[in-house]
Structure formats: structure tokens, C-alpha cells
Amino acid sequence: MERTELAALLTPAGLRLVDELGEVESAAEVAAAVSRLRAAGLAPDLVSAAVGQARLRTRARAKFGPFADRMLFTRAGLEQATRLAVAARHAGRFRDAGMTRVADLGCGIGGDALGFAGIGLHVLAVDADEVTAALAAYNLAPFADAAEVRCARAEEVDLAEVDAAWLDPARRTPGHTETTRVGADEWSPSIDWTFDVAARMPAGIKLSPAFDRALIPDHVEAQWISVDGSTIELVLWSQTLARPGIHRAALVVRGDTAAELTASGDADDAPVRALGAYIHEPDGAVIRARLIGEAAQALDAGMIDPKIAYLTSDAALTSPFVQSFRVREQVPTDVKALSRALRERDIGTLEIKKRGVDIDPAILRPKLKLRGAESATLILTRIGNRRVGLLADRV
């Protein structure tokens, strides 16, 4: 979004137009809306800004629910924003630790700041980009008594004003639309400055779940978070925000429920055992946190291979930290033989999962020529040097 578009949008007429447009989702709907508004004589900047916002609001409902319908976004800001339900959990940790004033450094469009303000904390939301800070100010306007927005670099903020900090370093190139990831040595603020803040005061640092584990400081709690099967972030918690005795955690959120696996450090993997009646796929957050061994204990399960993140057991058990499948039988991995086996079993609907094998399910699926009334899950993996195909059913 350019400044001219922002100026056109942040007017009574601009905001009213976005509200009137309602849901705009497909490219065809975007084109139709633009043509209709231009034909009505509206200015190009206003049309571009309003239609763009209507489409972003439609997409934003997945992260912000009904709140999205009164918010403003940039494309990059929405992609990088924390889901509101997760932001509320972050804010709850600050509140439970006795914090009342939090600096949100790198606030983006204000996702996490909304979480802080929404539970009564005072938040100082800071972003170095002028357009992004303006949108954050708009999004936080309903919490004017609890939220202050500044356009500034994180390093310029006097942290004596607050009890704790939430840091979300910019890990992508600047911009409001297409951005690309940059290395840790190019983050803004720098990783060294960010870690220094966390060493001096209670802080939470939002990072990519793929962050180099070797760079995680010893004194923090590292919490990987997944939502509905996607591992979305790693948060490092320092000082009083870190829970005593916990250095590794996997928070698994599915719908309105959440479960967490915690440990004092990386867990030892479960022993390898022979394939049993059940296969369990650990959640991505559990894998990233290296707590597969902890998840295995509750299932009386072992690894199918020391290098493959699948568990197996004979016990009819499952947990929030895995997806479980009952094994029907082993099937061939050769495409022609596999297709014939599926046809013989009348399987026309097939979920394909794979780990440890160089197979693209999108390429494999049309080759199988599926047709039939039954459904199943196909698990393709490796045990030792042997490829294995397992026909299974979700538990």
C-alpha cells in the first residue's frame, strides 16, 4: 500500500466504501468490483485501496475472526500477523506474570498488541514503517485508553517505560506486498540486540519455527506453537515470563482447544520397535521441540526408524500431540502394483502422507487412477533401507 492509497482510505468515504464492499474473495470478484467503482467515477487510488482492503479482510477472518471486519491490513502485514487466539495466549502469560505495561516492538498491523490491550494490559506498539504504524493505530483505536502507537525503530524506544517487551524482529525484506526472507544477520532489530533486551528484562521473542536451535540462548524457555496442524512460530520467553524448569515446550492448538507438552530439555527419542497395529504422526511443534520421546511415553509407542518421525504401537491410544492411524495392511510402493491394490479394495478417496521418501503426493495421486466408494490413508515411509507403504484409517 502506497501513502496515496492510505490517505484515500483513511477518510470517512474510504472507510465507508470498504464496509459497503463486504466480502471480496476471488480474482474475478476483485475485477468486477474495480470495474464497477471506476465506472462510477471514483478515483483510482481510492478504488485500489478499498477493493484491496475488502479482499484482505476476507482473508483475515481466518486469523482474526469477526474482528477482521473492522481492521485494515497490508498484504505482508496480514501474512506475518499473529492469529488473535494465539496473541491472546501470549498476552495471558504477561498478565499472569504480573506485567501491566508491555512494549510491542515490531508490532506490524497490531495483531499481538490487540491481544495485550484486549485483556487490559497497556501496550506501547512500535513499528518503523509509517504506513504499517498508521494501520496499527487504526486497528488499536477501540483500545485508545490502553494502547499507544509510535512510528519508530525498536532501538529508539526507552524501555524504562514498560515492565516487559514483546519483540518480533523483521525477518523479511521491507515492503507491503511481496517480501522475501533474510538471514538472521539482516534482521531488524538485530538478533544480538533482541537477545540483549531479553537478557535485561522479561521478554517474549517471536521467531520462525525453523529458527536455528544452536542460536537459542540457554536461559530462555523455547515454545513451539502449532495451530490446526501448521507449526506457525517459535517464542522464546525470558526471565519471569519463562516457567521454572521448562526449557522446551510444544503448544498444540486445534480449534478452541489447546494442549501443551513441556520438558526441561530435549527429550531422548523412544526406542525403535517393530511395526505395530497403530502409526502415530507427531505434531510439527512436538517435532520442532524435540519432544517426540515425551509424546511416545503416553502412547506406549516406539520409533519405526531412528531417523523417521513416525511412532508405532499396539495400544489403542492417541493424544493431542499426534495424529493416529490404525494400520490395515502393508501395500506395494510400486505405482502400478499400488494402483492395482487400491482398485481391488475399491478405494477412490485417498489421503497420502509421506515421510523419509522422495515422493510428491501431488504427482503420485493422478498416477494411481483412483476410483471406488471406499476411503483410506496411505502412509509412505522408510524403515531402514526399505520403502514401506501402509494402508491405514484415521483414529
Instruction: Look at residue 7 in the predicted model and tell me its pLDDT.
Output: 85
What's the full length of the chain, in residues? Answer: 395
pLDDT per position as a tens digit, 6-40: 888 888 988 999 999 988 888 899 999 999 999 99
Mean pLDDT of the 333-339 span: 96
Statement: residue 292 has pLDDT above 70: yes
Q: What percent of the chain has pLDDT over 90?
A: 84
DSSP 132-190: HHHHHHHHTGGGTTTEEEEES-GGGS-GGG-SEEEE--B-B-S-SS---B--GGG-BS-
Instruction: Look at residue 95 in the predicted model and tell me its pLDDT.
Output: 97
Rounded CA separation 359/378 (Å): 12
Long-range CB contact pairs, 32-35, < 8 A, 24+: none
Rounded CA separation 355/379 (Å): 8
Instruction: Look at residue 174 in the predicted model and tell me its pLDDT.
Output: 64
Residue 173: pLDDT band (50, 70, 90) is: low
Statement: residue 5 has pLDDT above 70: yes
Statement: residue 179 has pLDDT above 90: no
Average pLDDT, the chain: 93
Pick the CATH number of 78-263 from 3.30.200.20, 3.40.50.150, 3.40.30.10, 3.40.50.2300: 3.40.50.150
Using CA atoms, how far residue 288 sits from 208, 248, 284, in Å, is 11, 10, 6
SS3 348: strand
Mean pLDDT of the 275-293 span: 97
Least confident of 171-185, 239-253, 276-290, 361-375: 171-185
Statement: residue 46 has pLDDT above 70: yes
Statement: residue 391 has pLDDT above 70: yes
Rounded CA separation 336/359 (Å): 15
Q: Could you tell me the three cell numbers for 375?
A: 476411503
Instruction: Look at residue 176 in the predicted model and tell me its pLDDT.
Output: 60
CB 61 within 8 A of CB 206: no
Instruction: Look at residue 255 in the predicted model and tell me its pLDDT.
Output: 87
322-331 sheet: strands from edge to edge: 302-305, 308-313, 278-282, 322-331, 386-394, 374-383, 347-354
pTM listed for this prediction: 0.90
Would you report the helix, strand and coil content of the chain in percent, each value rounded to 5?
40, 30, 35
What residue ranges do the domains of the chain occupy? 3-62, 78-263, 278-394
Q: What percent of the chain has pLDDT over 70?
A: 97
Mean pLDDT of the 286-309 span: 96
pLDDT per position as a tens digit, 235-272: 999 999 999 999 999 999 998 899 999 999 999 999 99
Residue 177: pLDDT band (50, 70, 90) is: low
Statement: residue 172 has pLDDT above 90: no
Least confident of 12-16, 149-153, 257-261, 299-303: 12-16
